[in-house]
Amino acid sequence: MFLNFFFATITIAAAQNALPNDFLRCQQRDSKINDCLKKAVPDALRRMKDGIPSLSVPPLEPLLVSGMNIESGAGPVVITQIYKAIKMHGLTDSILTYYKADLKHYRLRTDSITPKLEFIADYVMKGRILVLPIQGKGVANITMVNLVVKHDLIGEPVVRDGETYMHIKDYKVKFVPGKVYLHFTNLFNGDKRLGDQMNIFLNENSDLVFNELKAAYEESLSSVFKTVTNLIFDKVPMKHIFTED
């Protein structure tokens, strides 16, 4: 009876520190590990649409981000932007075009393509683009089509209770969007004519506008990706993510 209870407790504890059973596994020693991960990671993303409650991984569809502040300094685009209640749609439709796992050095590199990433948020902004002043407070829709993201994950081993975990200490992200669509409601205190003109102007110059803001978006997203990855990697021992046999 006591023993049964003991084993039941251990099994539950183990189950909480494991990837869900339906996740595809890749073997560390497999010479095709990169091909395996190219399939397994997008498959895991799709299974994480509603999150993984046992690992406290939040739903990824949409992915909620509480806030993001952008202070864009010099150059043609100088805007202070505050985004709140951010919802990102589309990440789980990503596919991977490249994967390179160097597990000996705790390094993962991958390129993904997201067909359509919609970023919807409450915004407040003030500044200027080229010679035009811009200000507003409303809802922003920044949609990136065919977004290529280059991910570079730099990890380190953390040993706890005899198990090795692969903690990600640095997660670098580079964005190369195919096309960016921007729309801000309620620009210029709701002046429809000025707001419509500015939205047209922003889209005609979307490459320029996005380039100036890209670094800030990358930084915010890399912090989100790092948090989500570590929710799994800090809890599931490395040998259960990349299996040993």
Ligand X SMILES: *[C@@H]1O[C@H](CO)[C@@H](O)[C@H](O)[C@H]1NC(C)=O
Q: Which residues bind ligand X (CB under 6 A)?
A: 118, 120, 141, 143, 181, 183
Compute the least distance from the CB of residue 95 to ligand X, in Å.
Answer: 20
Compute the least distance from the CB of residue 144 to ligand X, in Å.
Answer: 10
C-beta closer to ligand X: residue 141 or 230: 141
C-beta closer to ligand X: residue 181 or 201: 181
* DSSP 8-state class, residue 90: -
| 83 within 8 A of 47, measured Cβ to Cβ | no
Q: How far apart are CA 102 and CA 44, in angstroms?
A: 20
C-beta closer to ligand X: residue 115 or 133: 115
Compute the least distance from the CB of residue 24 to ligand X, in Å.
Answer: 31
Helices (H) and strands (E) in the chain, counts: 5, 8
Compute the least distance from the CB of residue 89 to ligand X, in Å.
Answer: 8
Phi, psi of 43 (to 5 degrees): -60, -45
Give SS3 for 153.
strand
C-beta closer to ligand X: residue 26 or 180: 180
C-beta closer to ligand X: residue 34 or 143: 143
Q: How far apart are CA 28 and CA 26, in angstroms?
A: 7
Compute the least distance from the CB of residue 193 to ligand X, in Å.
Answer: 20
Residue nearest to ligand X (CB): 141
Cα–Cα distance list, 149 to 38, 65, 109, 166, 222 (Å): 14, 18, 11, 22, 10
Number of neighbouring beta carbons within 10 Å of residue 52: 19
